[in-house]
Chains A and B, each alone.
Chain A
């Protein structure tokens, strides 16, 4: 038990110190860490839908988009609204939640491939809406996107500027990092609690056998809608943070590729297992960045010129990683912990 506490303390210290270390390497790495946390967010949200409830959703990024646009519209010169973030983030979560239920409702009778195709379509529809809702009323400002979005600020602390604290200079991205870390902690707790609740069990039951779940008395329609709505609300919060951090949103950020990326994180890590999903998201967020930074110098040193573009290599590594996972660890790298319990351990 003591060991566990020490372990947690060490991890906590490492996480808290991380941005300070990364800043030494380059502020870009703090930004990368922030984006990685956002992807963990998204993966945990999608994990509810795909991992727990077994609903293959290929349009999940739409809710990230909804969250981002809600934030952008309520905190930018576009409508000249500048609401504080602690008002907007819950609104974003709520709007995404409703969007999740609304887009989920027509798909309730679909399964597997059909569900995947329809959700893919919905995801694209949302993006196309964002692209075209610039006339007759200019709501989203079309493909140009919305700029000059307010960053977070609490009292006099502006999260987009550098501050000095106890002689340490803390950059904007580092500050966002801490906010994200806090939110992430919250999201993880919510996810874990849901998983071990009546609702979480109902989700898994539907994934395992929908007919049996119905016969066992689960109102599968409502419970599935709940999965869509809950998953979407996570996406909404992540989107809001994304908008605040970037200061700019446009439909381009919410393409199908992103949905697939998040799905890959969930599947690679281990569907249904919160820790596996987190690991999957971190892995797929950081590895490409390492590649981006190491491939060029490496090739220059070896061949004296660039043979393979980092971007190409990235996709290649992704593909190989996924194929290998599916071949050797079809349940993901760290599958659901339920599988371990059979060794007579207490649940």
Chain B
């Protein structure tokens, strides 16, 4: 069994009267595809937001790659090696696909105002490397032909891919995907699945929120189930699927929808 990459301990988050997360602890191992599922409003996205520093947490802490993770500022989290995508796609709409990915390189590069104004050699070389890497990543996710298009004009599936490419540009160890298959058709979903498997083959660890049961069952090594902010199960997909608590949560959740 491989080493632990991320260990979240007793994460809690409350919004007014809603306890969105309550004592959520989970452990993700290196090169694992780890599923996070649960009914609508279970707290999955909130967990992502806390993990990536977008929300402040009430309790708990996170160990990442053996180090305590400072959850105060998102860019520090990105620097530490966690990248994410958003449930409701958040791209830089008026930038081209290529530029979107180039922005992802920001955290791994350093040219500043001085370099930009004087076009120093270091700056030019860095800029060329940024562009090269961004090109590669567009190829990798399969949208290189759309490099010059504005992000807002891409098709839905391509936008999801672009978001993944931008996240990959930050050189993450852990890639957190929030419902990447949402709104995709069957063909797109199959392609997405291949993409995620490829990522793992390339040594990445993936944390995946998904409602598509088939995708989760086929892809994930382990799955955690959240319900009303609490983790009610965590195991390999086949066992989780038969867990009476999970079945109950989904039926109950379904009735509330």
Contact = CB atoms under 8 A, between A and B. Distances in A.
Partners in one complex: yes
A261 interface: no
B111 interface: yes
A198 B79 contact: no
Interface in A15-63: none
A198 B106 contact: yes
Interface string B94-128: 11101100111111110111011101000100110
A197 B131 CA distance: 11
Contacts of A217: 74-75, 78-79, 83, 104, 106-108, 170
A213 B99 CA distance: 12
Contacts of A211: 54, 90
Interface residues of A, number: 35
A144 interface: no
Given A338-B150, A342-B150, A216 B107 contact: yes
A163 B100 CA distance: 53
Nearest to B53: A214
A344 interface: yes
Contacts of A338: 94-96, 99, 150
A205 B95 contact: yes
B119 A346 contact: no
B77 to A, nearest CB: 8
A317 interface: no
A208 B93 contact: yes
Contact of A205 (B84, B92, B111, B119): B92
A217 B19 CA distance: 28
Contacts of B117: 190, 193-194
B92 A197 contact: no
B249 interface: no
B153 interface: yes
A219 B52 CA distance: 13
B148 interface: yes
Given A193-B117, A200-B116, A345-B148, A214 B75 contact: yes
Contact of B94 (A197, A218, A220, A339): A339
B67 interface: no
B166 interface: yes
B106 A347 contact: no
Interface residues of B, number: 48
Contacts of B240: none
Interface string B11-45: 00000000000000000000000000000000000
B91 interface: yes
Contacts of B74: 214-215, 217
B94 to A, nearest CB: 6
Contact of A202 (B54, B91, B106): B106
A194 B170 contact: no
Interface in B133-160: 147-150, 153
A212 interface: yes
B150 A197 contact: no
A204 B166 contact: no
B56 interface: no
A241 to B, nearest CB: 19
A201 B99 contact: yes
A208 B92 CA distance: 5
Given A197-B111, A198-B111, A342-B153, A218 B106 contact: yes
Nearest to A210: B90
A226 interface: yes
B73 interface: yes
Nearest to A331: B94
26 contacts: A193-B116, A194-B116, A196-B116, A197-B127, A198-B126, A198-B127, A199-B111, A199-B112, A205-B103, A208-B94, A209-B90, A209-B93, A211-B54, A212-B86, A212-B91, A212-B92, A215-B78, A215-B90, A216-B167, A220-B75, A338-B95, A339-B94, A341-B148, A342-B149, A344-B148, A347-B148
Given A202-B103, A202-B106, A213-B103, 19 more contacts: A197-B115, A199-B113, A204-B92, A204-B94, A204-B99, A205-B92, A209-B90, A211-B54, A212-B91, A214-B54, A215-B78, A216-B78, A216-B166, A217-B79, A217-B104, A218-B75, A341-B96, A342-B96, A342-B148
Interface of B: 52-54, 73-75, 78-79, 83-84, 86, 90-96, 98-99, 102-109, 111-113, 115-117, 119, 123, 126-127, 130, 147-150, 153, 166-167, 169-170
List the 10 shortest-distance A-B pairs measured between CB atoms, nearest first: A217-B107, A217-B78, A197-B116, A208-B92, A212-B90, A214-B74, A219-B75, A205-B103, A342-B149, A198-B111
